[in-house]
Structure 1
Amino acid sequence: MVTDAAQIDAARILVASNRGPVSYTLTEDGGLDARRGGGGVVSGLSAIGSDEQSLWVCAALGEGDREAVRRGVGEPGVRMLDIDPAVHADAYNGIANSVLWFLHHLLYQTPLEPAFDQEFRRQWDAYRAYNRAFADALAESAAEGAAVLIQDYHLALAPGMLRERRPDLRIGHFSHTPWAPPDYFRLLPDDIAEELLRGMLGADRLGFLTQRWADAFTACATQVVGGTGSTVTGVYGLGADAGFLRERAHRPDVGERLAELREAVGPDRRTIVRVDRTELSKNIVRGLLAYRTLLATRPEWRERVVHIALAYPSRQDLAVYREYTAEVSRLAAEINEEYGTPGWTPVLIHVKDDFARSLAAYRMADVALVNPIRDGMNLVAKEVPVVSDEGCALVLSREAGAYAELGDHAITVNPYDVTATADALHRALAMPPAERAERTKHLAAAATALPPRRWFLDQLDALRD
């Protein structure tokens, strides 16, 4: 981590995101333990030549991160911002995850929510302050004419703020979520909707995961502020990192998890696999309801199939997410109670995050269930066909961004239709091996068309051009 502005004022390529590539935890003896993250942006930055000076600006997310900032501990190429924890909480949980996330995923229960009151306005002030901190740091850290790639809905105001400070910069913003259609977007107060769009339009280029989300943004901008002006939109469908996944999926720890899962499933049984965080948009509850419907209406599958549900808790500091996670576990237990036998557990559910177990589940999947209500992309849909040992049938929601690339070779479902999803699971389980292998081949090819490094570099090249 770099803390001296004199050391960082020549950065030619800058990335800004809420979460950075490294995080710190305090150890019992008062030390700091560093843990590196992954993802497309991390892979992308690693593709930049060493002669290009790059800087990642991110927020300190916990006490370990904040202590690292205070001690000046870190690594070159990362600048961590110690934003006031109360400001960060209001911006991150109050606005980004409780307003913008719900807005773009169409998740509001509109008879009751949203209600944009004075508390919302107070939290929006914090969101402004949070974005301002990033804009200030980027302006201070960038060389003349540098390229800046700002990430996601957490930092929607930062492009406009940065443009005011540094008109010389080439500024890009990428949205990793869907974008709400105009009628839904205009649930926001009129002044906030305009402020949000003008913040985004401070960028030279805006990137989206699918043309559908890019078109939705353009429609919102046209209705609210009269158009996108000189800002150009582009589509970059982030793909799976095939080389990394295939290598990682055959390491010993994955082999151990694979043996454990196979023993738990039992011999000669099919598997339906899902791997998700318990985010409200992932639709895990309806997926379990569809599986229960399959067992009720297609008794021939009883004791012949197991649903492996890896449902890793997400955003547990928000009550609605805690309640949803509890409902997932409750429903899985109910299905096991209703249909389980001494030698067969219909649902194997794991709630502890374990990447090796996820890869093991990918490898043994006969069917992959990816049925989000709405999803910017959904990389699980792309990763399972790449890793699957014997090929898998993909049951895919038409509301996942990945549908645009994978839909021709998947079994498509309306995520709200539990009965149709149960029928799709039956069709997938009964699919002949040759058809399943052929579909998997096409799915894997489409899933890896734009791997993370190329995804990042394409955006950087477009911004520089």
Structure 2
Amino acid sequence: MVANPSVPGPAAAGSGRSTARILLASNRGPVSYGLGDDGSLSAKRGGGGLVSGLSAIGADAEAIWVCAALGEGDREAARRTDGHLPTADTGGRRVRMLDIPAETFGAAYNGIANSVLWFVHHLLYQTPFEPSFGPEFRRQWAAYEAYNAAFADALAEEAAEGAAVLVQDYHLCLVPGMLRERRPDLRIGHFSHTPWAPVDYFRLLPDDVARQLLLGMLGADRAAFLTRRWADAFADCASAVLGAEVTDGGVALAGRTTRLGVHGLGADADFLRRRAHEPDVDERLAALREQIGGADRKVVVRVDRTELSKNIVRGLRAFRQLLTDRPEWRGRVVHVAFAYPSRQDLAVYRDYTAEVQRVTDEINSAFGTPGWQPVILHVKDDFARSLAAYRLADVALVNPIRDGMNLVAKEVPVVSDAGCALVLSREAGAHEALGEHAVSVNPYDIDGTARALHEALTMPEDERAERTKRLAAAATALPPQQWFLDQLAALR
């Protein structure tokens, strides 16, 4: 079980385990466990930017990844190993998995991280009705504090003198400040993978909570973001809420400065291009072509989780508006929409997933013919099928309400077989690097998005090919391994 979160843990120099020189902390780790009926555990390794990034430092770098147990399989694995997972399960990495009580984890993760902080930074609240911060919020906030303290205790225990610690994302905003109290010798960085809310929206939070979040992150030596826009928004909040001084290099408060950094995570071109031409992707490509029908039909592709901020419903309505305003596209274009269910333990997400299906059915009923299905919707997560869709896309639709980066926008141009026009929300972090070569849209403007889809579909082939080349170059400028190493070097 985790240490008592109410008691700051001292530096664990005498524990015999304080050997890690580089520490990574995130909610989700690089491995997850399934628990069989017979009590057996099966390990499944994950992927993504953090896994790729950490691999860049080599197995001999004295690194450890601290993460939380997310389910019963994870908790059982953590209990059997005292949290220190077997390297045979983790691809040779040292991983410490924290067995945080399920009730505490649920309140912190679903109650605060996903239902409050995510909503604040993505501007998702319907403010006439929400948020409403009462006793239940305070109970959940106490769990968020305990969850962050558990990470701070573990990092303090595992870190060697003067080690570098890279804390990840909105789940762990309090960790830098807590860890600074426990281990002032450490070099601490925090990286935000989400947007950061503008001041007026951030101040929806209770004043003491807003202060606590900002002070927690200012416990870091360096706070980094995906774009300059998000870094500036954080600095504005620190100034307005805390009275901090914003300097050229960072945010100064109470005699110390937290430097700000920007690292625009890019696509892993080598991996994507190799993976996109493996046999299972070719099989799914053939199946999609058969579903689409008609070799001359244009294809508009989107690949998203049914996350509220991804704006899938408005994207579908924009496609319906295209078919309404431009009847010449009927029978000539298909919208391949992958909407993979997300956070289905929250009612608002279940309702949103159902609305995606409802609008899809409505479009197909209104416009479909025996030989043409306007929208092909897939809801079962399948990475190989996503890559197949990337390859055949004539147009990629990426229209989030707000997004820290959005790697789909960066991946499609890298994988596209024949060149792909990108319709891109100006509220996606990726717009900072890709906007010049995309067709930009206001994500709330359905008519404008329909016009953008028409523009993208009618773009001359030579222009589309040239834009795709420039998009791919911008999208791969900072691949995951270099993204991680740059942060590490800046912290050192």
Task: Please classify the TM superposition score into its range, dividing by the shorter chain length.
Answer: over 0.9
Instruction: Provide the residue aligned with 1:396 in structure 2.
Output: 424
Counterpart-to-counterpart distance in 1, 2:147 and 2:483: 27
Q: Aligned partners of 1:80, 1:169: CA distance in 2, in Å?
A: 21
Aligned equivalent of 1:74: 86
Give the structure 2 partner of residue 288 of structure 1: 316
Structure 1 CA distance for aligned equivalents of residues 58 and 100 of structure 2? 31
Task: Tell me by how many angstroms 1:225 deviates.
Answer: 1.0
- AA at the equivalent of 1:171: I
Q: Match for residue 122 of structure 1?
A: 139
Distance 1:426 1:401 in 2: 24
Q: Distance in 2 between matches of 1:134 and 1:249?
A: 37
| CA deviation map 1:78-124 (0-9, x unaligned) | 00000000000000000000000000001110001011111111110
| Contact residue 421 and residue 438 of structure 2 kept, 8 A | yes
Report the AA paired with residue 267 of structure 2.
Answer: A
Over the aligned positions, Cα root-mean-square deviation in angstroms equals 1.3
Partner residue in 2 for 1:378: 406
Structure 1 position 41 matched with structure 2 position 50: yes
Question: Is the partner of 1:109 in helix, strand or coil?
Answer: coil
The residue type paired with residue 32 of structure 2 is: S
For residue 163 of structure 2, what is the aligned residue in structure 1?
A: 146
Please give the alpha-carbon distance, in whole angstroms, between the structure 2 residues aligned to 1:189 and 1:427: 44
* Offset at residue 281 of structure 1 (A): 0.2
The equivalent residue for 2:248 is none
Q: Shift in Å at residue 15 of structure 1?
A: 0.3
1:51 Cα deviation after fit:
3.0
Aligned partner of 2:440 in structure 1 is: 412
Q: Aligned to 2:477, what secondary structure does the other structure show?
A: coil
The alignment partner of 1:52 has SS state of coil
**Greater displacement, 437-446 / 47-56:** 47-56
1:220 & 1:445 partners in 2: Cα distance?
A: 33
Q: Give the secondary-structure state (helix, strand or coil) at the position aligned to 1:183.
A: helix
The question of 1:20 aligning with 2:29 is answered yes
Following the alignment from structure 2 to structure 1, what is the Cα–Cα distance between the partners of residues 353 and 58?
Answer: 43
> Which residue of structure 2 aligns with residue 358 of structure 1?
386
Confirm or deny: 8 A CA contact 2:25 2:151 kept in the other structure.
yes
Q: Tell whether the 8 Å contact from 2:15 to 2:157 is kept in structure 1 after alignment.
A: no
- Residue 280 of structure 2 is aligned with which of 235, 238, 253? 253
Would you say 1:184 and 2:201 are equivalent positions?
yes
- In 2, are the aligned partners of 1:12 and 1:53 still within 8 Å (CA)? yes
Task: List per-residue Cα deviations over 1:252-306 (Å, max 9, x = no partner).
Answer: 0000000000000012110000000000000000000000000011011000000
Give the deviation of 1:6 after TM superposition.
5.5
Segment of structure 1 superposing worse, 37-46 or 271-280? 37-46
**Aligned residue type for 1:420:** G
C-alpha separation in 2, matches of 1:70 and 1:107: 37
Distance 2:37 2:386 in 1: 30
1:98 matched to 2:110? The reply is no
Find the counterpart in structure 1 of residue 360 from structure 2. 332
| Amino acid corresponding to residue 289 of structure 2 in structure 1 | R
Read off the aligned partner of 1:303 and give its amino acid letter.
Answer: G
Q: Which residue of 2 aligns with 1:212?
A: 229
State the SS of the aligned residue for 1:275. Answer: strand
Match of 1:231, SS state, is strand
What's the TM-score, normalizing by structure 2?
Answer: 0.93
Structure 1 segment 205-354 matched on structure 2, within 5 A = 205-227=222-244, 228-229=251-252, 230-267=257-294, 268-354=296-382
* Pairing 1:434–2:434 present: no
Asked if 2 retains the 8 angstrom alpha-carbon contact of 1:68 and 1:74, the reply is: no
Q: State the 1:404 CA deviation.
A: 0.3
Residue 28 of structure 1 deviates from its aligned partner by 3.5
Structure 1 counterpart of 2:431, which letter? Answer: Y
Moved more, 8-17 or 156-165: 8-17
Q: Deviations over 1:215-241 (max 9, x none)?
A: 000000001112222000000000000
TM-score by length of 1: 0.98
Secondary structure (helix, strand or coil) at the match of 2:463 reads: helix
Deviation at 1:39, TM superposition (A): 1.1
8 Å contact 2:153–2:179 — kept in the other structure?
A: yes
1:29 to 35, 38, 56: 38
Counterparts of 1:6 and 1:332 in 2: how far apart (Å)?
58
- Distance in 2 (CA, whole Å) between partners of 1:119 and 1:13 is 37
Give the stretch that moved more between structures: 18-27 or 47-56: 47-56
Aligned to 2:73: 64
Match of 2:90 in 1: none
Asked whether the 8 Å contact 1:209–1:237 carries over to 2, the reply is: yes
Alpha-carbon distance between aligned partners in 1 of 2:300 and 2:156, rounded to the nearest angstrom: 49
